[in-house]
Amino acid sequence: MPVEIIVAIIGLVTAIITSGFAVLNGWVQKRLTEVSKKQKNTDILEIQNNILEQLIPVLEKKDLAMDRIADILEEQSKRLSYIEAENREFSSRLDNRCEAPKLLSEFKRLEEDNIMKGVREEIIKDLENE
C-alpha cells in the first residue's frame, strides 16, 4: 500500500474524530448552557423564597395583631350599636316626658277657655234679664 494512501486514511480518520469531538463539544456546551440557565433561575427563585421566608413570620405576627384589632373593632361596633339603640330609646322617653307639661298646659288653657265661656254667658244672661 502506498504511503500517500496511508497518510490520507490517517488524515481522514483524524478529521472524522476531530469533527466528532467538535459535534460532541457543541452538544455538551449546549446542555451545559441550558443547565446553567436553569441553575440561574433556580438561584433567583431560592433567593426570593429565602427573603419571603424571612418576611412572612413578621407579616404573620402582624396578622395576629390585625386579628386582635378586628376583634376589638367588632366588639366596639357591637357596643356602639347597643349604645345607639339605648340612646334612641332614652331620647324617645325624654321626648314623651317633655311633651307631658305641654299637654298639661294645653288642657289647662282649654279648661280656662271653657270657664271663661261660661262666665261670659252668665254675664250676657244677667244683662238680658236686666
- Reading the block at residue 38, the C-alpha cell is 436553569
What ranges in 1-130 are assigned the alpha helix state H? 3-129
Looking at 4-12, 42-50, 102-110, 111-119, which segment touches another protein (CB under 8 A)?
42-50
Nearer to another protein, 24 or 116 (CB): 24
Compute the distance between CA of residue 77 and CA of residue 71 in angstroms, rounded to an integer. Answer: 10
Compute the distance between CA of residue 19 and CA of residue 102 in angstroms, rounded to an integer. Answer: 117
| Cβ 31 to another protein shortest distance, Å | 5
State the residues that interact with another protein by CB under 8 A: 24, 28, 31-32, 34-35, 38-39, 41-42, 45-46, 48-49, 52-53, 56, 59-60, 63, 66-67, 69-70, 73-74, 77
